[in-house]
Chain A
């Protein structure tokens, strides 16, 4: 099946621990994005990548890191520097230069600090 796979669906992090959220796509899309959503809020852009081996900070990049070594994969690491990481994380993809309705979201990952 074509689509975006995020894992894990639920993740618990201890104080001071780094965790990595996986995002894999087989849509052959160039661009990939990570968004964060807090309860009752809209989505905010963390990082995005338009091409392999290149990525850019979004609006709330502090405390996060990413890599884009393969077109299919765009993992997000939530570092210990992120003081309030409990949130719903969404990965999205889009073809570069595509029309507006070609943005696809994964199913999301819930991260909770314990």
Chain B
């Protein structure tokens, strides 16, 4: 079967670093996405990994290991506005990049 797992909830302190893990088992792999979603809003794109390694974009970094079926999202210098759900998603179509399988999301609470 196809499955994506990520922790349900995490709590961190403002200014700290937090790592959100994601493991996946899918029938195909065309890349892994991380999205941020505030309650009641559409997901916002954060990062995309298709090759192994680390992609850095400002305060956010994402890592992928295809052999291990593993990714993580790293958030540095946490701010209160980072409190949101973080969704891990795998694209498993060939050229069908929008056909995504999502994890259940990790709700991150940033405390002062």
Contact = CB atoms under 8 A, between A and B. Distances in A.
Interface in A77-96: 88, 90, 92-94, 96
B84 to A, nearest CB: 13
Interface residues of B, number: 27
Interface of B: 4, 8, 30-31, 33, 40-43, 45, 48, 50, 87, 89, 91, 95-105, 107
B41 to A, nearest CB: 7
Contacts of A103: 33, 45, 97-98, 100
A109 B83 CA distance: 22
Interface size class of chain A, counting residues whose CB lies under 8 Å from the partner chain: 20 to 34
B87 to A, nearest CB: 6
Contacts of A50: 96
Contacts of B107: 40
A38 B8 CA distance: 14
Interface in A36-86: 40-45, 48, 50, 58
